[in-house]
Each structure stands twice: as C-alpha cells, then as structure tokens.
Amino acid sequence: MYFENLSEIPALASAYSSTIFNLEKNPNIRATYLIEPDEKDNHKIPVEAIREILTHLNSIQTSDIFVVINHAETLTPSATSALLKTLEEPKNHYHLALFTKNPNRLLDTIRSRSTIFYLKEKDYLKTTPEADPKIFELAKKLLVVSAKDLPALADEIIKSTPKTNPNFFYQILDTTIELAEKSYYKTKNPVFLQKISGLIETKHLTSDFSANKKLQLVANLL
C-alpha cells in the first residue's frame, strides 16, 4: 500500500478494511472509527479516548468494527495500559489498527501482540519533513552536530523554545528522527541509526516536562 501522508489514513483504513473483510459481501461490518492525538492534551491520545471507544466496542457483540489509532506513538502511558489489556483479551467482533512512523516508541508488549505491516510512503525519501522553518533548521544542525558542538547546540535549542509552544523541543526531535531515517536509507550509514536511538531515548526520558532536556539530549547523543 502507498500513501502520501498520514492525513490519508482514514481513507486508507477504509480501503484496508474493505480488502481484509470484503465489505461488499459482509454487511455485518458497521463502521470505521479514527482516534488521533488531541490538541487539548498536548497532542497526545488520552486514556479517555481509548476507554470511550472500548466501552462502545464492548457494548456491541454482533457487528465487526474497525478502529484506527493514528500516531499511536502519542498514546499516554495510561492509554497504552488500557489498550494493552484489550490486546491481551481480544474479541472477535472488532479489529484494531495502529499507525505510526515510530514503532520503536511503542511498548514491546504492544508490538508483540500485533501483526506488523510496513506501508511504503510514496516518494518518502524525496520529501522534506513538514516542519516550521526554525524547527527544520535546528533539526538539520542536530542531525550532523559534532560531539564538541553538541552542548552549545542543545543550549540553543532550549533557548529557542517559545513559551507558547512547549512541544517545540519534541518537534525538533521528531524532525531530526525523520531526517536521520531518510539519511540512513540513502547512505546505510549506521551512525544515523545511533542518532535515531539516542533521539528516541531523549523523547522517552523527557516525557515529564520537568526533566532536564538539555542534559538528556547531550547525554543520549554523545
């Protein structure tokens, strides 16, 4: 399957469910539901969203439901726990599809209970990340920064973070991860894999907004 960007996932999900379950010949399939990050929750998927859909699913026993969780890596810890319990005790009448560009940010217990498909994004390696110019510029620097210059760059990133956008730091990390992925696939240089691992670890260790982001960034990329 090919898709231009994550905004096409609802249409992709419909096509995907049609292919698997043959909607035309299976009128029991009732609907496709989409769960995405909530701006009100710092662009995370809150546990309430998961509980709401699971309550709905458990109230229906006769019709197949297809649930798509977009940007699954943004599930909060409590949302992940709620979802994991469902994956441990699956029912036959609903089907969950988690979409993410960062599967390493999903819990091992989630991945081990899932069937993994790799969807190739059309012209992915040729496109530049969709990011604010300032974020893109800092991400490019972070991608190739030397160990010597890393502390100064980390300080620049922290000082550049506007008070009105607390996710600025994480947007830089995500953009750098995307650049590193594309650089690796083009060059096969393992340095970029190490960079990705360090950036993901930084995101994980700074999920608490009180964490020292500069310290974690330097420690995980050196």
| pTM listed for this prediction | 0.53
Nearest to 169 by CA among 177, 181, 158, 180: 158
Q: Where are the alpha helices (DSSP H) in 118-167?
A: 133-144, 150-160
| Residue 1 pLDDT | 32
pLDDT tens by residue, 63-121: 677 888 888 989 998 999 999 888 888 777 778 888 887 777 788 788 888 887 766 66
Q: What does the pLDDT read at residue 156? A: 96
pLDDT, position 55: 86
In this prediction, residue 25 carries a pLDDT of 42
pLDDT band per the 50, 70, 90 thresholds, residue 15: very low
Q: Which residue has the higher pLDDT, 156 or 8?
A: 156
Give the tens place of pLDDT for each residue, 47-64.
999 998 888 877 776 667
Range list of β-strands (E), the chain: 2-3, 31-35, 65-69, 94-98, 120-121
Confidence (pLDDT) at 121 = 62
On the CB side of 8, CA atoms within 13 Å amount to 11
What is the mean predicted confidence (pLDDT) over 121-126? 69
| Under 8 Å between Cβ of 52 and 22 | no
For range 127-154, the mean pLDDT: 93
From 12-21, 85-94, 182-191, the region with the lowest mean pLDDT? 12-21
Cα–Cα distance measured from residue 69 to residue 194, given in angstroms and rounded to the nearest whole number: 28
- Asked if the model's pLDDT at residue 28 lies above 60, the reply is no
State which H helix or E strand residue 109 sits in. helix 108-112
